[in-house]
């Protein structure tokens, strides 16, 4: 019988990760020996969670596969071919990730099929498409987080760069003078990518010399200097000059749509996305980059900045607005005088306690589990109703019932 169960989750030790945040979240000695970057909660084959089942640990996909309708709920099982449609993560960045964008569903299907037809091995470094799914995502800060997301307006980008008279960028900047501003950013960005490594190093060196005395005036310039030190021959170190720089405070979130260039520069948060691992990189990385494919996928239009705040849904639960079909992110807050009782109609849910101590109880059977800091659980759809009591902040991933 399906019941509320504990999860054991894989942790990815990428070089940009933190030696403190995930260690402390999981109650382990900090700082740790190696950087921990992402904890995955889901059924993705590159890092599946294990579920406590009948005194054993089994992969989450196997857990769902025993009876998808009872695990996911009938409508979700039908809509997503009996598979969990989202991947839930804790992300902790001490160093910048790569600048990247994700394809939409049509692009992912075509790209995956093309690489399969060309015989590119699934684990080959030059492989772009690991699956045929898109990857919309939402990111919610657990600490102060610095993010680059989407292109600035061409005139704003031009003003930032012309302020210092960057002679080595005169040719690329001409594109931003085009009358049709809506079409000016792609040729500007392309011209940067076309520079050879030696030229990129010369440009970044010139820019740093010109802006160093202004670094304290604007975090944009501070981040250009930081990125140039870390990636001295990568023109994408100048990305804060043409991508929007955002600082998120705990509890604030952003949504990343397909095609939007973005990079998490520093900080920790909760990340929820469609169950995909398709990434096209522009720079700030030693991993594979495919500029031609990236230019097909990237969205070069300016997007108004929108920081998401959670909206109250019911007593004890606040939901982050999102237009994704695969997932919805909620924050549950339980306190001394405030418990949370779930609705009866639900999909499968995965929860992680970010702060505090609490208890989750199946109201039909009376079975209870401790849901304390760093602990994650899965609540199958067939669990009729549950209650969370204690003093804790919990993040919940589920599938929006109305859209599944």
Distances (CA, A) of 355 to 74, 334, 358, 372: 33, 10, 9, 7
Whole-number Cα distances in Å, 107 to 19, 114, 263 = 36, 10, 21
Check 281, 314, 336, 346 and give the catalytic one.
Answer: 281
**Which residues face 330 on adjacent strands?**
319, 396
Identify which of 246, 278, 286 has the alpha carbon closest to the alpha carbon of residue 262: 246
- Nearest Cα to Cα of residue 47 among 22, 14, 69, 76: 14
* Helix then strand then coil, % of the chain, to nearest 5: 25, 30, 40
Q: What's the gap between Cα 322 and its chain centre? A: 14
Q: What is the DSSP string of 236-288?
A: GGGGGGTEEEEEEPTT-EEEE-TT--EEEEEEEEEEEEES----EEEESSSS-
CA torsion, points 198, 203, 209, 215, in degrees to nearest 10? -120
**Burial letters for 196-216: b for 16+ Cβ neighbours within 10 Å, e otherwise?**
eeeebbebbebbbebbeeebe
Residue 256: closest CA among 375, 134, 126: 134
Q: Would residue 247 show up in a list of annotated catalytic residues for this protein?
A: no
In contact, 342 and 290? CB cutoff 8 Å: no
Give me the active site residues, please. Answer: 281
């Amino acid at each position: 019988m399906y019941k509320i169960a504990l999860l054991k989750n894989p942790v990815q030790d990428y070089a940009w990760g933190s030696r403190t945040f995930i260690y402390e979240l999981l109650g382990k000695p900090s700082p740790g020996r190696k950087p921990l970057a992402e904890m995955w909660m889901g059924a993705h084959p590159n890092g599946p969670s294990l579920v406590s089942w009948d005194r054993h640990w089994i992969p989450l996909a196997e857990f769902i596969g025993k009876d998808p309708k009872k695990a996911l709920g009938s409508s979700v099982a039908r809509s997503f071919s009996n598979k969990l449609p989202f991947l839930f993560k804790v992300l902790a960045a001490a160093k910048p990730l790569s600048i990247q964008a994700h394809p939409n569903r049509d692009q992912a299907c075509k790209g995956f099929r093309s690489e399969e037809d060309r015989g590119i091995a699934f684990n080959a470094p030059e492989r772009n498409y690991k699956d045929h799914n898109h990857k919309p995502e939402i990111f919610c800060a657990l600490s102060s987080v610095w993010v680059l997301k989407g292109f600035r307006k061409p005139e704003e980008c031009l003003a930032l760069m012309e302020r210092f008279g960057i002679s080595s960028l005169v040719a690329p900047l001409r594109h931003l003078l085009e009358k049709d501003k809506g079409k000016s950013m792609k040729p500007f960005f392309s011209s940067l990518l076309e520079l050879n490594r030696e030229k990129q190093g010369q440009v970044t060196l010139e820019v740093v010399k010109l802006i160093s005395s202004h670094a304290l005036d604007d975090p944009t310039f501070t981040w250009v200097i930081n990125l140039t030190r870390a990636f001295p021959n990568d023109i994408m170190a100048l990305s804060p000059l043409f991508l929007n720089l955002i600082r998120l405070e705990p509890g604030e979130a952003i949504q990343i749509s397909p095609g939007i260039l973005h990079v998490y520069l520093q900080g920790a948060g909760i990340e929820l996305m469609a169950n995909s691992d398709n990434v096209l990189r522009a720079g700030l990385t030693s991993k594979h980059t495919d500029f031609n494919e990236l230019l097909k996928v990237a969205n070069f239009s300016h997007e108004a900045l929108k920081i998401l705040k959670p909206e109250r849904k019911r007593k004890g639960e606040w939901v982050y607005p999102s237009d994704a079909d695969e997932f919805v992110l909620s924050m549950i807050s339980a306190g001394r005088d405030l418990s949370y009782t779930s609705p009866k109609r639900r999909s499968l849910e995965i929860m992680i306690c970010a702060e505090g101590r609490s208890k989750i109880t199946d109201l039909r059977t009376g079975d209870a589990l401790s849901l304390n800091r760093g602990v994650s659980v899965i609540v199958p759809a067939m669990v009729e109703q549950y209650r969370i009591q204690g003093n804790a902040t919990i993040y919940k991933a589920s599938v929006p019932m109305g859209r599944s």
